[in-house]
Amino acid sequence: MESFTLAAQSAVALTGNFAGADVVDGNLYYIVLGTSNGTQVIAQIHAAKFSTGAAFALTVSLPAGSYNVGRIGTANDIYFVNAAGNSGGGVSSEEGQGAANITSTLSVRTRNAPFVTSGPTIGARGSL
């Protein structure tokens, strides 16, 4: 799991791959942000049809705040769910378990910055 803090609304690159059992080629998965009211979809991605180990990179815009990438269950956690909303935590369908496997590969990077691994404030000087 990686954690980071944004000082202002910022673009954040999320990267990972479709490695692991139960990732269904061609299926739609959602990247969600845990909120105090449930979850909010912040991006969607199709599992690569050519390889379950295929890498992906996408950019999302997030407001100021502290975030946990790859952790499931509380506000400001960023993770994958399948089209049915299953995250793979607890008892869920095989595709939900696949969503958990994709989540486990997530990394975060800010534009023009090195990979973030724990706790810095990004964009504190207004540049990203």
Cα–Cα distance between 25 and 23 in angstroms, integer? 6
The yes-or-no verdict on residue 121 having pLDDT over 50 is no
pLDDT tens digits along 24-73 = 888 888 999 999 998 999 999 888 765 656 788 889 999 999 999 888 87
Residue 49: its pLDDT value, please? 61
Domain 2-114 CATH class label = mainly beta
Residue 110: its pLDDT value, please? 60
Map out the domains of the chain as residue ranges.
2-114
Residue 50: its pLDDT value, please? 58
Contact status, residue 32 vs residue 62, Cβ threshold 8 Å: no
The yes-or-no verdict on residue 116 having pLDDT over 50 is no
pTM: 0.77
Residues 6 or more apart from 75 whose CB is under 8 A from it?
34, 35, 36
For residues 12-27, average pLDDT: 83
Between 52 and 22, where is the model more confident? Answer: 22
Q: Would you state the structure tokens that stand for residue 88, as one six-digit string?
A: 């793979």
In DSSP terms, 62 is beta-bridged to 10
Q: What percent of the chain clears pLDDT 70, i.e. is strictly above it?
A: 76
What band does 91 get if pLDDT is binned at 50, 70 and 90? low
